[in-house]
Amino acid sequence: MNKTKKLLILNLGIDSNDTSLGFTHTWINELKNEYPIIDIITMRLGKNDLKEDVGIYFVNSNNKKLTKFQQIKKIRYLFNEVLGKTNYDHCFAHMSPLLLVLGSRKLKKKGIDSTLWFTHPGPNYGIKRIVLYLASLVAKNIVTASDNSFPYKTRKLNVIGHGIDFSRFEKRERNKVERFLYLGRISESKKVHIIVENFIRFNEANQNIYSLTLIGGTLNNQDKKYLEKIKKMINNNQSIRFMGKIPHEKLGKVINEFDCNINIAKKGFFDKVVLETLYSGIINICYSDDYKQFYPIAQHDKLFVTNDLNEIEEKMNYVAKLKSSELKSIIKYSYDNLDSHSLETLSKRLDNIFR
């Protein structure tokens, strides 16, 4: 008789209303196909739409955030609680190196192996860089989505692609590009201000017939200050609007009104929003080479920005002038190369690593 498999998940947040983190609900539901018993230690609990049999242990909530000392104390308490009553087959830390480091000694004592998922260029300095390095040492395996989306070279690393629930998105054919989009976290690391600057120049040179919409939210106080900077840049510009956060479950319908997404995050970022928009038939202007796999070689120079980020204006002009047949051909190529990033195969891909 096969035993019931049990999985402990560590993550940044549970919140179906969060544009960036809402997808974790679909991941967890998919992982339940392989692991019927799942408990989660999460740094923040927001709107929870998970099944009732998923155990959730949270450090902070949307209504109350603890001090750093209180957070560390509570994290240790939560590890004692969950490990004291359940013998898990594995621990999966999703973008949560700190939680993994703080719980590593207790996990080792219980004989529970861990896998760290990390898809980000990583911190360049400071305590966060040290924490990520320590997490890479204590994890048995490390998984990431693309060749350049983990900052350290290690034999533990497995590149397995993303896990996107494409059923939430609907492909729509576009004949031309008029409505531009930035989808993602509002953060200086995403260089949203450069996108806005380039769009303003581009639009003014074209009689202000185009539009730009920013969709996404902030993660911390530094992001909130940056958002205020963006709002001042926009001022009363009628061609630019800020929509803020969109619940992930509604995102597929919302983005269908746009024609081109702009993502100029640096090398190492492999944002799933680029793949979600490509699936929906939205052409992308990008910076990171990791996205070149989704475009014909002939389009690389035309759709990818180099170190001169002011090239965005030039790329906007290019996509705006594409013929309908050219646009559809590019999007078809992108669409046909997304299979390895589907949610449908995620639990199997991860389970093969966990073993």
Query: What CATH number does the domain containing 71 carry?
Result: 3.40.50.2000
Residue 19 is predicted with a pLDDT of: 73
The whole-model pTM stands at 0.85
Residues facing residue 90 across a β-bridge: 7
What is the CB neighbour count within 10 angstroms for residue 325? 9
Is the residue at 116 inside a domain? yes
Residue 110 is predicted with a pLDDT of: 97
User: Same domain, yes or no, for 180 and 157?
Assistant: no
User: Same domain, yes or no, for 139 and 182?
Assistant: no
pLDDT score of 1 more than 70: no
User: Same domain, yes or no, for 91 and 157?
Assistant: yes
Residue 2 is predicted with a pLDDT of: 66
User: Same domain, yes or no, for 271 and 251?
Assistant: yes
User: Same domain, yes or no, for 285 and 324?
Assistant: yes
Exposed e or buried b per residue across 75-113, where buried means at least 16 C-beta atoms within 10 angstroms of its C-beta: beebbeebbeeeebbbbbbbbbbbbbbbbbeebeebebe
E strand spans, 121-200? 141-144, 157-159, 179-183
Over residues 264-321, the pLDDT tens digits come to 988 888 999 999 999 999 999 999 999 999 999 999 999 999 988 889 999 999 999 9
Residue percentage of the chain with pLDDT more than 90 = 82
User: Same domain, yes or no, for 154 and 284?
Assistant: no
CB 259 within 8 A of CB 174: yes
User: Same domain, yes or no, for 185 and 77?
Assistant: no
Is the residue at 131 inside a domain? yes
Cα separation of 62 and 170, whole Å?
A: 31
Is the residue at 1 inside a domain? no
Boundaries of domain holding 288: 167-337
Over residues 104-144, the pLDDT tens digits come to 999 999 999 999 999 988 888 899 999 999 999 999 999 99
Is the residue at 149 inside a domain? yes
3-state secondary structure of 44: strand
Region 45-50: what's the mean pLDDT?
90
User: Same domain, yes or no, for 10 and 156?
Assistant: yes
User: Same domain, yes or no, for 160 and 172?
Assistant: no
Alpha carbon 118 to chain centroid, angstroms: 10
Region 94-106: what's the mean pLDDT?
97
User: Same domain, yes or no, for 153 and 205?
Assistant: no
The total number of structural domains in the chain stands at 2
Region 315-339: what's the mean pLDDT?
96
pLDDT score of 328 more than 90: yes
Residue 173 is predicted with a pLDDT of: 92
Is the residue at 278 inside a domain? yes
Helices (H), 236-283: 248-255, 272-279
Q: Answer left, alpha or beta for residue 239, where phi above 0 means left and psi between -120 and 50 means alpha.
A: alpha
Residue 355 is predicted with a pLDDT of: 84
User: Same domain, yes or no, for 92 and 111?
Assistant: yes
Average pLDDT, the chain: 94
User: Same domain, yes or no, for 33 and 119?
Assistant: yes
